[in-house]
Structure 1
Amino acid sequence: MGEQLYDIIIVGGGPAGLSAAYSAWQNGAKKILVLERDREAGGILQQCIHNGFGLHHFKEELTGPGYAQRCYDLVKDKPEIEILVDTMVLSVNPDKTVTAVSPSHGLMKVQGKTIILTMGCRERTRGAIRIPGYRPAGVFTAGAAQRMVNMEGYLPGKKIVILGSGDIGLIMARRMTLEGCKVQAVLEICPFSNGLTRNMVQCLYDYDIPLYLSHTITAIHGKDRVNGITAAKVDDHMKPIPGTEFDIDCDTLLLSVGLIPENELTRQAGIPMDPHTKGAVVYENMETGIPGVFACGNVVHVHDLVDFVSGESDLAGASAAAYVLKGEAADTVVLDLVPGNGVGYTVPQRVRPADVDRSVNISFRVRQNYGPSQITVTCGGRQLARFKRQRMAPGEMEHIALPKVLLEKADGPLTVAVEEVIAE
């Protein structure tokens, strides 16, 4: 396989990559290549056998593999879309050449007119949270345990403790209970859960699984195999409080301590990164700092619902197709979006009002739980827009739409902030 020229090369064949490929095809791109390192397309959804996917995007409730299949069915018989599985991308260069390796093609180099990065995210591990102690068997990330149980048919253990209340941790609490295991406790270092409310209810409360907020693990016991942990309450600075320690028996510890966008290729290509999202800085059309290189889905920022990944990827695919057919966007005014009070980040981080059709969707996460509150968008002290919310939580992504007419009134950075509304 010599160096071939493609309209669009997509790195990653999960829901983001497949949705982007379909959208690019719909918008007139002719030669599209999707590169996926796993044995089959579909990404992490293949191991998420629970339902609750697709309510927004496909307007019906699907399992993870069902959603992946829908995405795959849209692209599978299109002669313009080529999918190579079992193919590991080694590098993405600013000149839009991609080097990859696979058992069937060996080392190959392909050239794209545009590239879309859709590598998804990975889990933080024990090393990232620095729990002291030996390194016994029985410590897994929640996603690794999910793959073991749902795809490979193994049980990681019988008596489980879960650290972290992210969505994967909550879902695994229910999954292990359904498999006949005893989930002793879920521990969360924050004073609030980091998962979706529906997962809190359906995975913990419905099964009477105890949740300890503002708690962490200070020691893992056991030398060959985990046989228990020591938990402790933490203070406002997330430091363990002496004297609050207690032990919990377990033979398995699952870590659900956050996800990190899989951005080694992005960094290596020299694409500017956002320290808040740990993903690429993107414009309103999901274009990165390198013209013609786009990014979407969990590689940009970690989403709570795959439906929003598909929506973002539809935009990236359409934008990449427009780049191939019409060329680079004209250099125009660029507005920076700045996270203000209570806001962790915004995506996109930069907006070119001239390239916005009718409005631009802004996604962001809040830093803490809020009751009745308002989201404000200001420019140099002037309030341009205000949105009301009854409640907001860090585990659930927020979305607002800023109309083009409003963006055209801005003459500098836009600040997105949150404030609680005090009832009179």
Structure 2
Amino acid sequence: MKQTDVIVIGGGPAGLAAALAAQRGGARTLLIEREPRLGGILKQCIHDGFGLVRFSEQLTGPEYAERDINAFKQAGIEALTTTFVTRIKKTATGFILTAVNQTGVLTITAKALVLATGCRERTARQVFIHGTRPAGIFTAGTAQHYINLLGQMPTKKCVILGSGDIGLIMARRLTLEGATVLGVYEAKATPSGLTRNLYQCLHDFDIPLHLSQTVTRVYGEERLTAVEVCAVDEAMQPIAGTSQKIDCDALILSVGLIPENELAISLGVELDPKTKGPICNATLMTSVDGVFSCGNALHVNDLVDYVSESGQLAGTAAADFSHKQRAEIALTTDPNFAYMVPQRLDLNDTGTKTIVYFRSQQVLKNCDLIVMVNEREVLRKHYSHLRPPEMERLEVDFAHLNLTADTILSFKMEVH
């Protein structure tokens, strides 16, 4: 049986940052990754735009990952790659983890866990597209894997469903490789991707964006031959008489990401129905003592810089973890917030500024975010423009507020 202090599950940017932080915090650290190579999804993201916040440079995905991988190797942290975690059991003193790789079945004990398992893409079946099951229906990440890692073109003429960032980036990538992107279709009335990607990936390449329209049916037996698109109403229900058939050989799906939390669920970790990730406190510890969550497993981030930031926080906290009695209060929000992370505040850890991430429920202009303690305003910050696709980051100093277990801590949005 192998023993260690902290186990980090996931070798992407969040996991690498968490492992480095835990090791620097004095903990014996082991990282487990199911793929043969570290780096996560960054390995196939050859476009630039990574690292602007963290490194003040514009890096490609592999360049960004390489910096943490090099630091990881220099720190001498142990990594088990091509290794799958099959079971985790909580004990009185920590955790017993069972994993499988080419050498056989491994049993490892640890005092704390960091779940950096990332997220997965929604598929055609999860958005209820009717029709047969022909070849030629890809998630945007799969299409990106084919082109950037395998050197294979998945399509010559395609339709993209969903205006998430990876879909926008793939619209540009496919166009650069010679494919025809007939259009990007988005069921919502507003686009889902970052503004910069809308301009750099669609506008600059004359790729049309169709809002309030979605794909309702696919055609083809062995290979996709066409899709049916239809306008939708405010409830995103198809409008009769608006359907049209578009000939194409592929449908690329960019219809959302889901945090990967099967291991968290198996441990009894409480999930937030809004983020689909764990409910956590400001140290990113979940509802289960000793289990920390970070990166896209916690909530879907816009920028990898913030994924790494949360990994550093979780890794540091995991190294410092001890089985002290928890004293927490909830952070409550009004309906103008789509979600907020963390959802709880540990009263034992308010000595430094707390980083809060949030998204607005809808597009808001000229508004103030107000922090209230027992209905008393303690902080106000003005925002000229908030959009749901763009995550916001806020630092709040709770140290001087004398918070207690009975404190009501709430966040409100005042729209002018």
Question: Which TM-score applies when normalising by structure 2?
Answer: 0.96
Q: 1:346-391 CA deviation, whole Å, 9 max, x = no partner?
A: 1111002331222211101112122222212234443332211111
Q: Choose which of 144, 155, 177 in structure 1 pairs with 2:142.
A: 144
Partner of 2:172: 174
Distance (whole Å) between structure 1 residues aligned to residue 123 and residue 353 of structure 2: 39
Distance (whole Å) between structure 1 residues aligned to residue 333 and residue 122 of structure 2: 24
Distance (whole Å) between structure 1 residues aligned to residue 118 and residue 3 of structure 2: 25
Q: Map 1:276-295 onto structure 2 (within 5 A).
A: 276-295=274-293
Distance (whole Å) between structure 2 residues aligned to residue 407 and residue 15 of structure 1: 34
Q: 1:139-191 CA deviation, whole Å, 9 max, x = no partner?
A: 01010110011000111111010000011100000000000101000000111
Distance (whole Å) between structure 2 residues aligned to residue 351 and residue 107 of structure 1: 38
CA separation of 1:123 and 1:242: change in aligned 2, threshold 3 A: same
Partner of 2:268: 270
Q: Does 1:352 align with 2:350?
A: no
**1:245 to partner: Cα distance:** 1.6
**1:330 to partner: Cα distance:** 4.2
Please tell me whether the aligned partners of residues 384 and 406 of structure 1 are also in contact (alpha carbons under 8 angstroms).
no
Moved more, 346-355 or 162-171: 346-355
CA separation of 1:230 and 1:83: change in aligned 2, threshold 3 A: same
Look up the SS of the partner of 2:356 in the other structure.
Answer: strand
**1:216 to partner: Cα distance:** 0.7
**1:409 to partner: Cα distance:** 4.9
Partner of 2:330: 336
Please tell me whether the aligned partners of residues 350 and 399 of structure 2 are also in contact (alpha carbons under 8 angstroms).
no
Partner of 2:394: 400
Distance (whole Å) between structure 1 residues aligned to residue 26 and residue 392 of structure 2: 31
Please tell me whether the aligned partners of residues 19 and 31 of structure 2 are also in contact (alpha carbons under 8 angstroms).
yes
Task: Report the count of equivalent residues.
Answer: 412
Q: Map 1:1-12 onto structure 2 (within 5 A).
A: 3-12=1-10
Please tell me whether the aligned partners of residues 188 and 216 of structure 1 are also in contact (alpha carbons under 8 angstroms).
yes
Partner of 2:79: 83
Distance (whole Å) between structure 1 residues aligned to residue 127 and residue 346 of structure 2: 39
Distance (whole Å) between structure 2 residues aligned to residue 369 and residue 224 of structure 1: 42
Q: Choose which of 178, 181, 184 in structure 2 pairs with 1:183.
A: 181
Distance (whole Å) between structure 2 residues aligned to residue 228 and residue 386 of structure 1: 52
Partner of 1:243: 241
Distance (whole Å) between structure 2 residues aligned to residue 129 and residue 413 of structure 1: 38
Distance (whole Å) between structure 2 residues aligned to residue 345 and residue 328 of structure 1: 29
Q: Map 1:97-112 onto structure 2 (within 5 A).
A: 97-103=96-102, 105-112=103-110
Look up the SS of the partner of 1:371 in the other structure.
Answer: strand
Partner of 2:67: 70
Look up the SS of the partner of 1:354 in the other structure.
Answer: coil
Identity of matched residues, %:
45
Please tell me whether the aligned partners of residues 20 and 75 of structure 2 are also in contact (alpha carbons under 8 angstroms).
no
Partner of 1:57: 54
Partner of 2:361: 367
Partner of 1:92: 88
Look up the SS of the partner of 1:368 in the other structure.
Answer: coil
Which residues of structure 1 form unaligned runs of 5+?
none
Distance (whole Å) between structure 2 residues aligned to residue 292 and residue 222 of structure 1: 50
Partner of 2:124: 126
Look up the SS of the partner of 2:258 in the other structure.
Answer: strand
**1:408 to partner: Cα distance:** 2.7
Distance (whole Å) between structure 2 residues aligned to residue 64 and residue 374 of structure 1: 35
Q: Choose which of 22, 25, 43 in structure 1 pairs with 2:23.
A: 25
Partner of 1:416: 411
Distance (whole Å) between structure 2 residues aligned to residue 207 and residue 320 of structure 1: 46
Distance (whole Å) between structure 2 residues aligned to residue 382 and residue 247 of structure 1: 57
Partner of 1:42: 39
Q: Choose which of 297, 300, 317 in structure 2 pairs with 1:299.
A: 297
Moved more, 219-228 or 105-114: 219-228
Look up the SS of the partner of 2:109 in the other structure.
Answer: strand
Which residues of structure 2 form unaligned runs of 5+?
none
Distance (whole Å) between structure 2 residues aligned to residue 73 and residue 274 of structure 1: 34
